[in-house]
Structure 1
Amino acid sequence: MSNPIDLLKEARLRFSQREIADYVGKDIKTVRRWEKGETPCPAILEPALREMLRTPRLQELAEPDFTFIDLFAGVGGIRMGFEAHGGRCVFTSEWDSYAQKTYAENFPAEHPLNGDITKIEAADIPDHDVLLAGFPCQPFSIAGVSKKNALGRAHGFACDTQGTLFFDVCRIIEEKRPRAFLLENVKNLMSHDKGRTWDVIKSSLIELGYNISPRVVDGAHFVPQHRERILIVGFRNEDGIRFDWDAVGLPQKGVHVMRDILHRTDGTEPVLPWDGDRFFDHAGRRVQDKYTLTPKLWRYLQDYADKHRAKGNGFGFGLVHPGSVARTLSARYYKDGSEILVYQGEGINPRRLTPRECARLMGFPDSFRIPVSDTRAYKQFGNSVVMPVMREVARAMVPHILARREDRHDVPEALACAA
């Protein structure tokens, strides 16, 4: 193989765009243009790419403790939680091209980044120990189910869930039979569509032969943000494991407050080469002015809050101070930032969080790179998971994932309960 673009493609199966850019001494945008074919990959880089391919990644030096797949992956928050405990991702699916861009920059391309999961055959997905999915919540059409019951006809998950993205989760579970899964969704999943959505989800997973354990967990145990999400842990019936949520360590709420994630103006704000001064003016020790609300927008939000307060409603902006715990960051944060506005002092308009602060609010480390626009970044973090929650749930799940049926007694008693 002598074509540099072929070498680049091979390198991308093991390294991120950022790692390649750093290795060959080019800007990441240049690497991206090479990949897209917008500019030719220079032949002079062939020796460097060959040498890079001879360099093992740290992850490749040892076999993983377990493998997992990352469905509806977003920017990889669930993945990070499971990688922290020895797992290796062997398949990823995410349809949004901007989320793919963020994901590709932060994770090595050890496998192709797949798009629309509905177009992928379950049999083509690699075998894996754990299925991870932050699947979208969609209404289930169960019209006709009662009629089928009356006629004595079986319907099953394929009938009840067809046409929803949850169906794709089910067909992959049915085909690959992973030892376990972790599904994530909004808190209201159980009450969605008057409880019918949850009834279908629960019965479908049980029908597939899994013991499920749902729990609503608030991200405020780990970050300064109230963010309640339902997590559904499942283990195969034949393994005889019933997940114990008491094994998940949840720190006291209120310990983490906004000062933990806000940019520091005392000269101690870290200088991140991948951020530069995009969000924070390090010389001036201040957040960039563009995040401060304009007088017009600030006046609008105050009037809107006053109007609803007069009606006895609770609608309005959420003003936070260094000692506060914020409301839930939403995907619409880019519009006006109203749910989380940072107080900047008397007579000064409040400001939005910067995308870096949003990343911190979701528990992502500062090493996480943000290659997309502010608007896209706000949407991505607003749709993401609180990563430390996933890391803690993974910690409690891993002993079960690693256990074999014949040596389940080796699993700590606090972590296992025979079904």
Structure 2
Amino acid sequence: MKTAAPHGLLKQTLQFYSQGEIAAHCGRNVRTIRRWEASGNCPVIAEATLREMLDIRTRKAPVERAPEFRLVDLFAGIGGIRRGFEAHGGRCVFTSEWNDFSKKTYQENYRDCDDAHQFVGDIVSFDVASVPSHDVLLAGFPCQPFSIAGVSKKNSLGRPHGFECTTQGTLFYDVARIIAAKRPAAFLLENVKNLLSHDKGKTFQTIIDVLRDELKYDVHYKVIDGQYFTPQHRERIVIVGFREETEFTFDDLNVPAEGPRLASILHKTDGSEPVLAHDGDRFFDHASREVQPRYTLTANLWAYLQAYAAKHRAAGNGFGFGLVTPDSVTRTLSARYFKDGSEILCSQGKGKRPRRLTPRECARLMGFPDDFVIPVSDTQAYRQFGNSVVVPVMQEVARIMIPHVKGLLAQKVAGATS
């Protein structure tokens, strides 16, 4: 009869490593590790490996280092903004994400080591008093239409003033109410560039007015193009704010003069493509050194896209597919990429139909490392990466924000002890 290693050993290892990392060390696939976790049993032969992994972790970090600052991750998606701030010493203590597929990917990749972390779904119905105290608030909030008509009428009726009046019913309101209640040292909000022009600029002005005039934060914003960090033209507006006036400036960003090209994120066909235990051959056939054939467009789809592009060219429009080569910088990856991949189609040479990027290549295009596990279907993965952020951009913004955050935290401590 087979005996099993203590389930507690596996559970303890999962506190520090992802299922994919454990699978790679044990020479198994992720499904096997999930089965061990679900059944409460794993073979004794794996016990030595698990103990070795824990020993490595202990030797690397004999004492769990206290976080330099605490953060909350709202409208978290798959955690791209959080990843940038954790690289500079932050620890996430609270996450909100309503989409079950995104939640699955998030929880697979961020196994928080302390019991303080809480994951909730819909932030709209969540009691703000239950949000833990934190130093930095992160939010990639969706842009919903703001209706500011009728404000004066509400005022005359004695209804809510300030941001409650102008933003209630939008998801930005839920960000604002948490900032108002918890007063973090700083926040970072991220959104599409078009937020600036929505409703002739009224939406963006409402947001800035609330943050500056109602919540009294020192606010700065900038449109940043991700193409200098990954090979993708992706413009997003980043809004940062500090509880007190600071000398923060986006001029301190270290932006490379020229960004990488697509070749840097494509699967390597020369034998150097890394073998990832959590991917296996799902995206790339390591034996043949080729991308799996299902990512090549069908003859019918390719014919349709060419005809569609020709029709719009004849009408004087710029609509069509985006054909790229290894030397290219791509168009913006969108959440609709799973439909036909038209915005980024990789050329496979003369006489061959182009192909979509694989989900692993999309992860790389957004700046996620190869140890990032993709536990969902291709369709959901394309949606998740298309909705995410360029991680190196977030990391660079975090780099210039954190000294000011630490300065505010030091002032608070000094004030409390004086």
Secondary structure in structure 1 of the residue aligned to 2:356: coil
* Aligned 1:222-301 pairs, distance under 5 A: 222-236=229-243, 239-253=244-258, 255-301=259-305
Matched, 1:394 2:393: no
- 58-67 or 103-112: which moved more? 58-67
> How far off its partner does 1:242 sit?
4.2
Matches of 1:273 and 1:24, distance apart in 2:
10
Q: Which residue of 2 aligns with 1:415?
A: none
Work out whether residues 117 and 168 of structure 1, in 8 Å CA contact, stay in contact via their aligned partners in 2.
Answer: yes
Matched, 1:91 2:65: no
* Aligned 1:64-213 pairs, distance under 5 A: 64-110=67-113, 111-148=117-154, 155-206=161-212, 207-213=214-220
In structure 2, the CA distance between the partners of 1:400 and 1:149, relative to structure 1 (3 Å rule), is same
Secondary structure in structure 2 of the residue aligned to 1:195: helix
Cα-Cα RMSD? 2.9
> How far off its partner does 1:143 sit?
2.0
Secondary structure in structure 2 of the residue aligned to 1:61: coil
In structure 2, the CA distance between the partners of 1:108 and 1:310, relative to structure 1 (3 Å rule), is same
Q: Which residue of 2 aligns with 1:416?
A: none
Secondary structure in structure 1 of the residue aligned to 2:348: coil
Deviations, residues 361-397 of structure 1 (Å, cap 9, x unaligned): 1011111111111111100000000000000000000
Matches of 1:266 and 1:19, distance apart in 2:
25
Matches of 1:348 and 1:96, distance apart in 2:
37
Secondary structure in structure 2 of the residue aligned to 1:234: strand
Deviations, residues 337-358 of structure 1 (Å, cap 9, x unaligned): 0000001111100100011110
> How far off its partner does 1:116 sit?
1.1
Match 1:221 to one of 224, 228, 251 = 228
Matches of 1:7 and 1:91, distance apart in 2:
26
Secondary structure in structure 2 of the residue aligned to 1:117: coil
In structure 2, the CA distance between the partners of 1:377 and 1:327, relative to structure 1 (3 Å rule), is same
Q: Which amino acid aligns with 1:63?
A: A
> How far off its partner does 1:404 sit?
3.9
Match 2:341 to one of 337, 341, 355 = 337
Matches of 2:63 and 2:132, distance apart in 1:
18
> How far off its partner does 1:243 sit?
2.2
Q: Which amino acid aligns with 1:75?
A: I
In structure 2, the CA distance between the partners of 1:249 and 1:283, relative to structure 1 (3 Å rule), is same
Matches of 1:300 and 1:121, distance apart in 2:
50
Work out whether residues 29 and 277 of structure 2, in 8 Å CA contact, stay in contact via their aligned partners in 1.
Answer: no
Deviations, residues 196-222 of structure 1 (Å, cap 9, x unaligned): 211221111121121110100000110
Q: Which residue of 1 aligns with 2:3?
A: none
Matches of 2:16 and 2:182, distance apart in 1:
25
Give the fraction of aligned pairs with identical amino acids, expressed as a percent: 62
Matched, 1:303 2:307: yes
Matches of 1:209 and 1:81, distance apart in 2:
26
Work out whether residues 331 and 382 of structure 1, in 8 Å CA contact, stay in contact via their aligned partners in 2.
Answer: yes
- 270-279 or 311-320: which moved more? 270-279
Deviations, residues 109-157 of structure 1 (Å, cap 9, x unaligned): 3423221112321111111110001011101122211434678987211
Matches of 2:330 and 2:26, distance apart in 1:
42
In structure 2, the CA distance between the partners of 1:83 and 1:319, relative to structure 1 (3 Å rule), is same
Matched, 1:368 2:363: no
Matches of 2:74 and 2:222, distance apart in 1:
20
Matches of 1:158 and 1:309, distance apart in 2:
47
> How far off its partner does 1:262 sit?
1.0
Matched, 1:61 2:64: yes
Q: Which residue of 2 aligns with 1:411?
A: none
Matched, 1:317 2:316: no
Secondary structure in structure 2 of the residue aligned to 1:119: coil
- 370-379 or 196-205: which moved more? 196-205
Work out whether residues 220 and 240 of structure 2, in 8 Å CA contact, stay in contact via their aligned partners in 1.
Answer: yes
- 239-248 or 73-82: which moved more? 239-248
Matches of 2:287 and 2:168, distance apart in 1:
56
- 158-167 or 7-16: which moved more? 7-16
- 336-345 or 267-276: which moved more? 267-276
Secondary structure in structure 1 of the residue aligned to 2:355: coil
> How far off its partner does 1:33 sit?
5.9
Matches of 2:199 and 2:191, distance apart in 1:
15
Work out whether residues 227 and 233 of structure 2, in 8 Å CA contact, stay in contact via their aligned partners in 1.
Answer: yes
Secondary structure in structure 1 of the residue aligned to 2:124: helix
Matches of 2:360 and 2:246, distance apart in 1:
39
Work out whether residues 259 and 323 of structure 1, in 8 Å CA contact, stay in contact via their aligned partners in 2.
Answer: yes
Q: Which amino acid aligns with 1:288?
A: Q
- Ranges in structure 2 where 5+ consecutive residues have no aligned partner: 1-5, 413-418
Matches of 2:69 and 2:222, distance apart in 1:
24
Matches of 2:63 and 2:199, distance apart in 1:
46
Q: Which amino acid aligns with 1:249?
A: N
> How far off its partner does 1:28 sit?
3.9
In structure 2, the CA distance between the partners of 1:241 and 1:59, relative to structure 1 (3 Å rule), is farther
What TM-score does the superposition give when structure 1 sets the normalisation length?
0.86
- Ranges in structure 1 where 5+ consecutive residues have no aligned partner: 409-419
Matches of 2:270 and 2:29, distance apart in 1:
31
Q: Which amino acid aligns with 2:387?
A: N
